[in-house]
Amino acid sequence: MTALISPLTKKLARDLWRIKSQGLAIALVIGCGVATVVMAFGTLVSLQETRETYYERFRFAHVFAQLKRAPERLADDIERIPGVARVATRIVKDVTLDVPGIPEPSVGRLVSIPERGEPMLNHMTLREGRWVLPDRTDEVIVSQKSADAHGYQLGDPIGATINGKKRTLTIVGIAQSPEFIYALGPGQFIPDDKTFGIMWMGREALEAAFDLKESFNDVSISLMRGANEKDVIDRVDILIEPFGGTGAFGREDHMSDAFVRGEMDQLRAMGSILPPIFLGVAAFLLHVVIGRLIHTEREQIGLLKAFGYANWHVGWHYLKFVLVLSAGGVLIGIGLGWWMGRWMTGQYSELLNFPFLHYRLELSVFALAVVVTVGTVTVGTLRTVMSAVRLPPAVAMSPAPPPVYHKSLLERWGLQRYLTEPTRIIMRNIFRWPVRTGLTCLGLAASSSLMVATMFGLDALDQMMDVYYFQSNRQDATISFVDTRSDNVLQDVMRLPGVMAAEPMRNVPVRLRLGHLSELVSITGIPQDAKLYQLLDINLRHVDVVPEGLIISTRLAENLGAKPGDIVTAEVKEGRQPTLQLPVAVVVEEYIGASAYMSLDALNRAMGERRSANTAIVLLDDTQLPALYDEIKNTPMVASIFLRSTALRSFNETIAENTTQALGFYIFLGSMIAFGIVYNSARIALSERGRELASLRVLGFTRGEVSYILLGELVLLMTVSLPLGCVLGYGLAAIMAEGLQTDLYRIPLVVSRSTYGTAMLVVICATAVSCLIVGRRIKNLDLISVLKTRE
Amino acid sequence: MAESAPLTESASVFRTRGITKIYRSGEVEVHALRGVDLDLYEGEMAVLLGPSGSGKSTLLNILGGLDVPTSGEVTFKDLALSSMKERGLTAFRRHRVGFVFQFYNLIPSLTARENVELVTEIARDPMSAEEALTLVGLEKRLDHFPAQLSGGEQQRVAIARAIAKRPEVLLCDEPTGALDSKTGTLVLEAIDTVNRELGTTTALITHNQVIAQMADRVIWFGDGQIVRIDVNETRISAQEVAW
């Protein structure tokens, strides 16, 4: 009669139980890798599906264009373009708001909606309240985000300067829209819901307010399946050009969608770059542990084979050991990843403001995690398992020959007189197992490099903020005018309360073309003697504004494949809409956005206009801010004012809280690897050399001295791994920077000393903790039994 | 032993009174020692004989400070070993005791010389490693690693390691147990030399009654107790031992 559970299975279970803490450490490392996959791809899939559903259900358009003013019949022409499914025209206007409780003027983007029926495209979900009523010209629906930021309630009044007239609007509804998942005001690059918000208003009310009867200044287009988007865009451009069209663009260039896409790319990068590190380390640890197990069970293997167990049976037995541990890791990882994914999805719900977003663990994500994990660890341990398979029974039954040691390299250089015997033991052991030593070192380096490569993101963010807000944009505030004005306007600006210095800027929307590549951007004209706005080269040194030619940012240069000397065609989308041939003069470093610059004089000349500007950047006296705000709210020519301090505040509010959580998460991941490696290495060393250490204890060596031999080696390897980890970390950070960059920004490769320091400190602490745990085992070494038995 | 003074008149080095040792493994209690009274005298060679599990090794481990008795007293000269703590026992082993075991327990990553130096480095008044290895006849194998030495040679390195610190006692637990007769003789010679030339009090456990003839006294163990003690009139030399 056969036993219910085979003896080999029982052996497996007991072996696993015996090394449970090591097994747990390995499972945790695997778990971290799996968790990263599950979290990143799980969240990614959830985001993707939600986005698709959201876009489809609320009819998010495919192509967008703004223009100055066009008669409604233009919509019919657009609709006749092949591939166009639907056309929806709107009126979209930015106005200054006077929000109670907010001293600074904020900007509201008024977007028209039909008073009767749903918008044909870019529909919204009404979260609260009701639709605007026909004949009520003062009703608005505000976006959920601004409602949250200001605590708006239904029925609240908002003061607005509309087309130079002060009006009071009433909130009748709160809504969300796929078009404004990420909403940036003019001059912003981080959303600030306090100073910029979306408001939907009845079309007729807006037509009346802006004198746009039967006209529109914004058009959205949905495409038929299989339509050629590029072709539609080109045809739309031709149609809207006479009406001041600023260039049509697809979803790809739509700020909100680009942002969501950027987040997805980052998740994909994270899920692809990090897990291999964990799984590689786990495979190494399993290789060492299984190698040790096979070594100690050598005679048992011989016995099994002598009894008639087949080679594959023995191999499968040890492979099962690996697989059970991996399964444990996968389970931990799925649990942890599911939990983190839910957390992350929660963060995204808040950030992206989707009306619905649920974290769902796709079977495909689960399968991916399992296949990759099992594949990696099996490949990683196959060689060791095969060594058990190949062992001939007769050889296996006799004890393994003792390892042959040699004098270490240092001693061969004649340095032995500086080494005590315990130190020599350490050195020879290191040189005796060079591969294992190297991999241990590399594994520890992987741990610190992982932390460097993840935490560097925070340094990069600091750098981006510093470069953007302090090195390039040195102004305290940016004032945009409702239209382009002669640069005499600067004198008016200087007369505003608290303005200490002011410089003009001119933004002109253009489509730049080089070869078959094109990009819709705006060229910013900067005075040649600009003090407040500074252009920087790749080393962040000041670059003069050249008198002629185009200055483009690194991102734009990349997108267009342009380099200095190339002639770029600029189709201006404003005024008389000239087409210019501009030589690229300089490429400047800019982490955020794809931008182009010219000297203000040259731009004005090219546009065939007098010296004029549509923006002023200013230095302010803080004490005069309230007076300035009051004045600006009553100055119709000012469309908006954006303060650096507001942007920084909003940045710190949104980023700072996430930073702590992210930091904690990265440190957790890094310390898991470090702990897994050091703890396992120490346990293996203890198992291999318990006898040796017990002998030393018998000879009168103290616990401390014995611990030195065992743990000194690990501490030495850790010490070597630290600089290696920093170097690898920098390299990995470069890969991450490449992987994390989006169409909206480039990630600078900067790693601060404190990042290196933190990463090293975590490895040191994880090493210390595992040494302490193993040190307790040294204390409990059984001196007698170890001496009475042959290894 | 006609020319030497009666043993009882030499100073007693070890003195045990009523020591017992009980091991608990799971629910089973093993009485390894059941009240042992024994004195070991300065400079003597004592051989402990008896079947497996009779308590020889337990006693030797207690004498060497590797283990403590469950009850009873053990003194080494003026030291009360039975009441000492871990730290004190470590120091005792470090400075006063030399151990030799059946399985040589050499450090595989150190050469013969270095294995000995391991001990001389932490001892108070050691002989040089070369001197110790010469004493056991290994002056030509100083720089060999354990893997390059035969079993007998490895055991002699272990003896050199044990005596290099000039211990006051040498405790050997079946030092020839894993060796053939010829190499065993070489090892016994080394132990004999140390006992005679350095006057190190030596206690040696063996299963081999022939070896007992090398001793001053033979202490017979059975079931955790001393069964009887024989005093040899004459000690034979190690060369005369054969099995």
How far apart are the CA of B9 and the nearest CA of chain A, in angstroms?
A: 31
Of B64, B95, B147, the CB nearest to A402: B147
Chain A residues in contact with B146 (beta carbon < 8 A): 402
Chain A residues in contact with B108 (beta carbon < 8 A): 402-403, 405, 692
With CA atoms as reference, report the closest residue to A716 among A437, A519, A417, A341: A437
Inter-chain residue contact A700 with B122, CB threshold 8 Å: yes
Could you tell me if B95 lies within 8 Å of chain A, comparing CB atoms? yes
Chain A residues in contact with B107 (beta carbon < 8 A): 425, 692, 695-696
Instruction: Using pLDDT thresholds of 50, 70 and 90, give the confidence band for residue B1.
Output: very low
How far apart are the CA of B72 and the nearest CA of chain A, in angstroms?
A: 20
Inter-chain residue contact B93 with A700, CB threshold 8 Å: yes
Average pLDDT, chain B: 87
Could you tell me if B110 lies within 8 Å of chain A, comparing CB atoms? yes
Whether B18 is covered by a domain: the verdict is no
Could you tell me if B61 lies within 8 Å of chain A, comparing CB atoms? yes
Residue of A nearest to B60 (CA): A784
C-alpha span between A20 and A328 (Å, rounded): 11
For chain A, domain boundaries: 1-61+251-400, 100-107+123-211, 472-648
What pLDDT is stored for residue A786 in this prediction? 64
How far apart are the CA of A24 and the nearest CA of chain B, in angstroms?
A: 27
pLDDT tens column, B195-215: 988 899 999 999 888 899 999
Cβ-count burial B127-152 (b if 16+ within 10 Å, e if not): bebbebbebbbbeebbebbbeebeeb
Inter-chain residue contact B146 with A402, CB threshold 8 Å: yes
What pLDDT is stored for residue A309 in this prediction? 80
Of A403, A432, A787, the CB nearest to B101: A787
Residue of A nearest to B161 (CA): A699
What pLDDT is stored for residue B4 in this prediction? 42
How far apart are the CA of A316 and the nearest CA of chain B, in angstroms?
A: 33
Mutation for testing the B interface, residue in A431, A699, A780 having most B CBs under 10 Å: A699
Mutation for testing the B interface, residue in A693, A698, A706, A707 having most B CBs under 10 Å: A698
Q: Which segments of chain A have a pLDDT < 50?
A: 1-2, 791
What pLDDT is stored for residue A545 in this prediction? 92
Inter-chain residue contact B109 with A405, CB threshold 8 Å: yes
The CATH number of residue B223's host domain is: 3.40.50.300
Chain A residues in contact with B101 (beta carbon < 8 A): 787-788
What pLDDT is stored for residue A262 in this prediction? 82
Q: Is A211 left (phi over 0), alpha (psi -120 to 50) or beta?
A: left
What pLDDT is stored for residue A153 in this prediction? 92
How far apart are the CA of A432 and the nearest CA of chain B, in angstroms?
A: 9
Could you tell me if B114 lies within 8 Å of chain A, comparing CB atoms? yes
Helical segments of A307-433, H only: 311-352, 363-390, 393-397, 409-412, 421-432
Of A692, A700, A702, the CB nearest to B95: A700
Chain B residues in contact with A685 (beta carbon < 8 A): none
Of B91, B108, B161, the CB nearest to A403: B108
Strands B201-205 and B45-49: parallel
Q: How many CB pairs below 8 A link A and B?
A: 88
C-alpha span between A701 and B61 (Å, rounded): 16
A749-to-A587, A591, A653, A723, A742 alpha-carbon distances in Å: 18, 11, 24, 18, 14
Could you tell me if B91 lies within 8 Å of chain A, comparing CB atoms? yes
Helix or strand run (H / E) with residue A457: helix A434-466
Inter-chain residue contact B145 with A405, CB threshold 8 Å: yes
How far apart are the CA of B152 and the nearest CA of chain A, in angstroms?
A: 16
A472-to-A465, A584, A589, A749, B149 alpha-carbon distances in Å: 10, 20, 10, 18, 74
Cβ-count burial A465-489 (b if 16+ within 10 Å, e if not): bebbbeebbbbbbbbbbbebbebeb
Inter-chain residue contact A787 with B173, CB threshold 8 Å: yes
Could you tell me if B67 lies within 8 Å of chain A, comparing CB atoms? yes
Could you tell me if B177 lies within 8 Å of chain A, comparing CB atoms? no
Residue of B nearest to A697 (CA): B90
Chain A contacts to B (CB-CB under 8 A): 401-406, 420-422, 424-425, 428-429, 432, 691-692, 694-703, 705, 783-784, 787-791
Residue of B nearest to A692 (CA): B107
CB-based contacts of A597: which residues, under 8 Å, 6+ apart? Answer: A523, A524, A525, A526, A535, A545, A550, A551, A552, A588
Residue of B nearest to A705 (CA): B122
Q: Write out the residue range of the structural domain in which residue B171 sits.
A: 43-65+86-240
Chain A residues in contact with B64 (beta carbon < 8 A): 698
Chain B residues in contact with A422 (beta carbon < 8 A): 118
The alpha carbon of residue B83 and the mean position of all alpha carbons in its chain are separated, in whole angstroms, by: 22
Instruction: Using pLDDT thresholds of 50, 70 and 90, give the confidence band for residue B3.
Output: very low
Inter-chain residue contact A404 with B147, CB threshold 8 Å: yes
Residue B28, exposed/middle/buried by CB under 10 A (0-12, 13-18, 19+)?
exposed
Residue of A nearest to B67 (CA): A784
Whether B30 is covered by a domain: the verdict is no
Cβ-count burial A691-712 (b if 16+ within 10 Å, e if not): bbbbbbbbbbbbbebbbbbbbb
C-alpha span between A619 and A629 (Å, rounded): 14
Q: Is A244 in contact with A69 (CB distance < 8 Å)?
A: yes
What pLDDT is stored for residue B2 in this prediction? 36
* DSSP letter string, chain B: --SSPPGGGSPEEEEEEEEEEEEEETTEEEEEEEEEEEEEETT-EEEEE--TTSSHHHHHHHHTTSS--SEEEEEETTEEGGG--HHHHHHHHHHHEEEE-SS----TTS-HHHHHHHHHTT-SSPPPHHHHHHHTT-TT-TT--GGGS-HHHHHHHHHHHHHTT--SEEEEESTTTTS-HHHHHHHHHHHHHIIIII--EEEEE-S-GGGGGGSSEEEEEETTEEEEEEE-SSPPPGGG---
Could you tell me if B25 lies within 8 Å of chain A, comparing CB atoms? no
The alpha carbon of residue A139 and the mean position of all alpha carbons in its chain are separated, in whole angstroms, by: 39
How far apart are the CA of B169 and the nearest CA of chain A, in angstroms?
A: 13
CATH number of A100-107+123-211: 2.40.40
Domain count, chain B: 1
